[in-house]
Structure 1
């Protein structure tokens, strides 16, 4: 799958550093002994593979109320984010960086410099002021030209601000930090505040699809019961994740599922089939709710490129009778209007993303034995078909 623009690069001067930090695409690592070692040569001669799998064995707690798995150990959080960009911080937009941002804010207050958020806000205010000054100058120039035409004289036009030469005025410039701030503290006091007063209260949230992929697909995540702190078996995880989307909501994990809710069109199964499909193809998959889609696909990860594709999951019943008897109201199961589809396509086109319609075929309950739902083996009966949809823009597509 090839994107329209290939994804916009991110990171700038930190590219080499990011390549080192995010060098591994998955939490599990593979270690091989030196090629020159005697044991490696002997194993190679005997046809023995001596590659070792380094499994981090992370831990998370199932939270049914938020339909997520919470990872609180900072070491596990770091591993899951830097090796595959799994999860998000509950107090951050993406990477769990709340603590680092608070430390930077404290240092900025003590050291009399701007944080990255304050710099961004200052630039936005300056751009806004530039547009106002330019609009005011254009209005004055138009008024002067009209007056000169009426009076029969040569117009004296004011200078129109240019983006390359415009500078913010003293009135519009943002106040510098420290104007009304107390005297700056020394580094020791700041470090003491960081250690004693600033507690890291942020945790990572994994979606149920991410958690099951790490647990079942990679076997590097152990999910714990929130009340007993006991590790759950694969069967308990399989049932509880489906039950999280049950007809009757529950605030506690349920490890048994009723026959009415054990269906092939369970929302967890439908969405996980798509998530596993793209993860197995090497894409980094994140939530796309910001752009009116279900998933976003990154080639390497959010720190390297913007997402190239926005994926809209569309369930398709193999047997229409299953849809009539379903207790679930799956999103996009009914044909969407052209107005709604055009709206989604335009939103993604404006942010340079290609819209992908992922049609998930839900197997017929009359053809596939019902007992297959008792294990993840039922996922073999789902299929994913993709249709790429692009917005037609006559001015840009004349060739």
Structure 2
């Protein structure tokens, strides 16, 4: 059973992280200066703070179904204020540039994590070779001693607990004894390092920032002009269109292709539901689920809840006529459910089945799909699953 608030991470940088990630959203409230107007507003119970909008910018990328934030300043704002997106060259936080800088500093001075891994692999290989050689020598010595009628003097057989490499393993580059003037000259000859990483936002994150918070401007990838909310709404649905492989984002979707079971609408209804409740929502593909819920963010706690999004059609006829093959729309087997539940139980996450009810096209007017006005017609329900472990739950 996970601890309340999720499993805490190391607290070495707790105070520093509290300062860096102090703001839960990109929007900030200004701190008013002491003045007569401020005192009057305080006396009357009025709030005279102003909203500070960072106005970040991103570019829609249709093939990857995401929005790219290339500017480093905007990427830092979106990550540190709400943990939006992920680095395309990193596991989560866009840290590729920092890692490359550290790798350059490590050259000739100390081993990076990749070099340590390679060193251990070479040492294990060398140990196996030394042990095989010692076993062959021992067998030859025992056979010769038997034929000569004497006692065999067997060589020591290396063991994993006591073996030490007598020489540098194959493929290992010896480290420099100490950095000197040669190292400084080599650093000067290195080409300047450019940051090749960008922040990658999912369509759900991008629309939440553009529509819900109005702090993200999305550019058309062909014209590089700002897209209106109507164009963004149509483009994000067209990305999932099964009849179009490559569609210009500014093209308006025909009415026949506007459906309530569009994958973008189904996933955004879930994302907006949990984001509006204060959760940090991230992808859960690492744990075979759709989403992970964090109370504060990945740097503070591990995710406490793992979500599997299950779409449910209000009208079964809509499912028959649907051109979309929605994930988990078909009944799943107990073996699948047990597997997912066990995986997340091992990492102390509570599995939640999130049922999204897709409104019936016969009940809800189709013209609502032209705007986010259709979102209130979706409903989200949760079913919590816990894996029964007899050895742990007797008390």
TM-score computed with the length of structure 2 as normaliser: 0.83
Shift of residue 234, structure 1, vs aligned partner: 0.2
Aligned equivalent of 1:309, options 305, 322, 334? 305
1:323 lines up with 2:322 in the alignment:
no
1:289 lines up with 2:288 in the alignment:
no
Alignment check: 8 A CA contact 1:60 1:223 kept: yes
Alignment check: 8 A CA contact 1:27 1:83 kept: yes
Alignment check: 8 A CA contact 1:4 1:353 kept: no
Provide the residue aligned with 1:371 in structure 2. 367
Superimposed CA distance per residue, residues 255-299 of structure 1 (whole angstroms, 9 cap, x where no aligned partner): 311223201110000000000111111111111111110001111
Aligned equivalent of 1:216, options 191, 211, 216? 211
Alignment check: 8 A CA contact 2:289 2:340 kept: yes
Q: CA RMSD in A?
A: 3.0
Provide the residue aligned with 1:146 in structure 2. none
Alignment check: 8 A CA contact 2:27 2:51 kept: yes
Closer/same/farther in 2, CA of residues 179 and 241 from structure 1, 3 Å limit: same
Provide the residue aligned with 1:383 in structure 2. 379
Distance 1:17 1:175 in 2: 42
Superimposed CA distance per residue, residues 178-229 of structure 1 (whole angstroms, 9 cap, x where no aligned partner): 62559746586576467x4211111111000000000001000000001111
Provide the residue aligned with 1:149 in structure 2. none
Provide the residue aligned with 1:62 in structure 2. 60
Structure 2 stretches of 5 or more lacking a match?
127-158
Corresponding residue pairs, total: 362
Shift of residue 45, structure 1, vs aligned partner: 3.8
Provide the residue aligned with 2:111 in structure 1. 114
Shift of residue 4, structure 1, vs aligned partner: 4.9
Other structure's SS at 1:339 match: helix
Query: How do residues 172-187 of structure 1 correspond to structure 2 at under 5 angstroms?
Result: 179=174, 184=179
Query: How do residues 144-223 of structure 1 correspond to structure 2 at under 5 angstroms?
Result: 169-170=164-165, 179=174, 184=179, 189=185, 192=188, 196-223=191-218
1:38 lines up with 2:24 in the alignment:
no
Other structure's SS at 1:360 match: strand
Aligned equivalent of 2:269, options 269, 273, 298? 273
Aligned equivalent of 1:346, options 336, 342, 347? 342
Aligned equivalent of 2:95, options 73, 82, 97? 97
Shift of residue 397, structure 1, vs aligned partner: 1.1
Shift of residue 238, structure 1, vs aligned partner: 0.4
Distance 1:74 1:126 in 2: 40
Alignment check: 8 A CA contact 1:109 1:178 kept: no
Shift of residue 115, structure 1, vs aligned partner: 2.9
Distance 1:297 1:62 in 2: 25
Shift of residue 169, structure 1, vs aligned partner: 3.4
Distance 1:175 1:300 in 2: 46
Distance 2:272 2:220 in 1: 24
Shift of residue 398, structure 1, vs aligned partner: 1.3
Alignment check: 8 A CA contact 2:58 2:216 kept: yes
Alignment check: 8 A CA contact 1:33 1:40 kept: yes
Closer/same/farther in 2, CA of residues 122 and 278 from structure 1, 3 Å limit: farther
Alignment check: 8 A CA contact 1:113 1:177 kept: no
Other structure's SS at 1:12 match: coil
Q: Which has the larger radius of gyration?
A: 2
